[in-house]
Amino acid sequence: MARLSVDRLSLRVTGLGAEEGRRLARMVAERLGRAGGNPRGAVTVRRLRVTVTASNDAGTDFLSEQIAAEVLRELDRSVATGG
């Protein structure tokens, strides 16, 4: 299994302060790290954009799980279609 490497992770989240936003970004990165790599082997995806909609009372744990899952789904789609 290939390793997952993320050069930059940017989040735009309405309603979070700077510190909570940094915490959310760390949580997403940790979840992506635990997910491992791509079973299809090494590929390069220059940019990946995802949108996740959640209720106003969604906590950072839930948000990080949803964001990481959507990133992985989009990455898989991107790899399957050749980028």
Q: Is 56 within a domain?
A: yes
Residue 68 falls within a domain, yes or no? yes
DSSP 15: T
- The answer as to whether 8 is a domain residue is no
Q: pLDDT truncated to tens, each residue of the chain (83 aa)? A: 456 777 888 888 888 888 998 999 999 989 988 876 655 566 677 888 888 988 888 889 999 999 999 988 888 887 767 65
Is residue 5 in a domain?
A: no
Whether 13 is covered by a domain: the verdict is no
39 located within any domain: yes
Residue 11 lies in a domain: no
Confidence at residue 38, expressed as pLDDT on a 0 to 100 scale: 56
Is residue 60, in this structure, part of any structural domain at all? yes
List the domain range (segments joined by +) for residue 48. Answer: 18-80
Indicate whether this model's pTM tops 0.85.
Answer: no
Domain count, the chain: 1
Question: Which element (helix H / strand E) includes 66?
Answer: helix 60-80
pLDDT computed for residue 67 by the predictor: 92
Pull the structure tokens for residue 52: 């996740």
